[in-house]
Amino acid sequence: MAGSRNQLVVPQATAALQQMKLEAAQELGVQIPQDGYYGNVSTRDAGSLGGYITKKLVQIAEQQLSGGSR
């Protein structure tokens, strides 16, 4: 998450979030910049990535709260 101004509540989650970002980009067909600069990524693609990641995080939280796994 190079260049991100957001601070993680759990800094140890950085690698997992980066992996989730890469998986989301691959599924959505969005090219992740090698240098970490997202200024050239379209707003639509960046929004798709953010929305996809948020959806996945909510699913994970719901599974943990319900005590089950899907």
The pTM assigned to this predicted structure is 0.71
How is 3-56 classified by DSSP, letter by letter?
A: T--PPPSSGGGHHHHHHHHHHHHHHHTPPPPTTS--TTS-HHHHHHHHHHHHHH
Q: What averages of pLDDT result for each successive group of 10 residues across the chain (70 residues)?
A: 71 90 92 86 92 94 83
pLDDT at residue number 20: 92
pLDDT at residue number 42: 92
pLDDT at residue number 11: 86
DSSP helix/strand/coil, 62: helix
pLDDT at residue number 1: 46
Phi/psi-derived region of residue 17, left when phi > 0, alpha when psi is between -120 and 50, beta in every other case: alpha
What are the residue boundaries of the structural domains of the chain, listed by start? Answer: 43-70
Distance CA 45, CA 4 (A): 17
pLDDT at residue number 39: 87
